[in-house]
Amino acid sequence: MAPDPSTLPRHIGIIMDGNGRWAKKRGLERTEGHKQGAKVFRDIATYCSELGIEAVTFYAFSTENWRRPEKEVHAIMDIFRDFLAELEQREAENEEMGFRIRFIGDKSRLPADIVSLLDITESRSAEKKRTTVNVAVNYGGRQEIVHAARLLAQQAVDGTISVDQITESLFSRYTYTGDLPDPDVIIRPSGEMRLSNFLTWQSAYSELWFSDVLWPDFTRKDLDQMLSDFAKRNRRFGGV
């Protein structure tokens, strides 16, 4: 049964977790799990657009993920390259879906060729309005807060704003998702029950939904289950 449009979240955050464990269970290299996870990412992003969800933010690579074995990090970067090349090949399809694709995080540590491809992809879809797909790459919630704080501090130093003008609302505008509503719900598959430095500022009142399903096994039916559960929740935002 299709979800009731009136109960849909405007913004969903997804922590794509469990790729390595999925591969290990099958006797495969961890990179095979990441490849399968990328396929699931495409399908779930497409489904969110079909449902009319305004924004979905995927946690793809954290600031802490550089600590993984060098071979795995290089493989993940190659998967990003393949993903970006595929986006270019599917440009007409993405246009039809109305995807605005953005990459959030600190791009400075990424390989130069990937940064160039990210910028090209973003510029090509910048005018699309149906669904914003944020891909968090070299992203950390605390790093994002520091980044926003530095931008505001510099404006205060320059005299553009006064310290008294800094409010929660203004601070939110300087985050990577400042033009979007905060996530209504954050999904974490794989059995883990923590946010792992994801959307730290934005998730203050997000509903949390956990699943034991590993991300490469995550399907549209799992998303439907989350949407059904979300529709039953009473969001009071600190009120009665």
Cα–chain-centroid distance for residue 81?
18
Q: In this predicted model, what pLDDT tens digit does every residue of 86-127 receive, in sequence order?
A: 888 877 777 777 889 999 999 999 999 999 999 999 998 888
Q: 19, 43, 65, 217: which is the annotated catalytic residue?
A: 65
How far is Cα 172 from Cα 180, in angstroms, rounded to an integer? 10
Task: Give the model's pLDDT for residue 234.
Answer: 83
Q: What's the whole-model pTM score?
A: 0.94
All residue ranges of the chain with pLDDT < 70 are 1-2, 238-240
| CB 189 within 8 Å of CB 215 | yes
Which helix (H) or strand (E) segment holds residue 137: the answer is strand 131-139
Q: Which residues of 152-187 are buried (b: 16+ CB within 10 A; e: fewer)?
A: beebeeeeeeeeeebeeeebbebbbbeebebbbbbb
How far is Cα 181 from Cα 104, in angstroms, rounded to an integer? 15
Task: Give the model's pLDDT for residue 3.
Answer: 75
Task: Give the model's pLDDT for residue 5.
Answer: 80
Task: Give the model's pLDDT for residue 235.
Answer: 72
Q: 17, 182, 184, 222: which is the annotated catalytic residue?
A: 17
Task: Give the model's pLDDT for residue 239.
Answer: 64
| Sheet hosting strand 185-188, strand order edge to edge | 99-104, 131-139, 55-62, 11-15, 185-188, 207-210
Task: Give the model's pLDDT for residue 99.
Answer: 87
Among 90, 121, 88, 87, CA closest to 104: 121
Is 94 tagged catalytic? no
For residue 101, which phi and psi values (nearest 5 degrees)? -100, 125
How far is Cα 71 from Cα 141, in angstroms, rounded to an integer? 25
Task: Give the model's pLDDT for residue 2.
Answer: 65
Give whole-number Cα distances, 238 to 150, 170, 180, 205, in Å: 29, 21, 21, 9
Rg of the chain on CA atoms, in Å = 18
- First-to-final CA distance of the chain: 32
Among 183, 206, 89, CA closest to 136: 183
Is 224 tagged catalytic? no
Q: Go through the domains of the chain in sequence order and give each one's CATH number.
A: 10-140+182-229 (3.40.1180.10)
Residue whose structure tokens are 């923590």: 194
Task: Give the model's pLDDT for residue 1.
Answer: 63
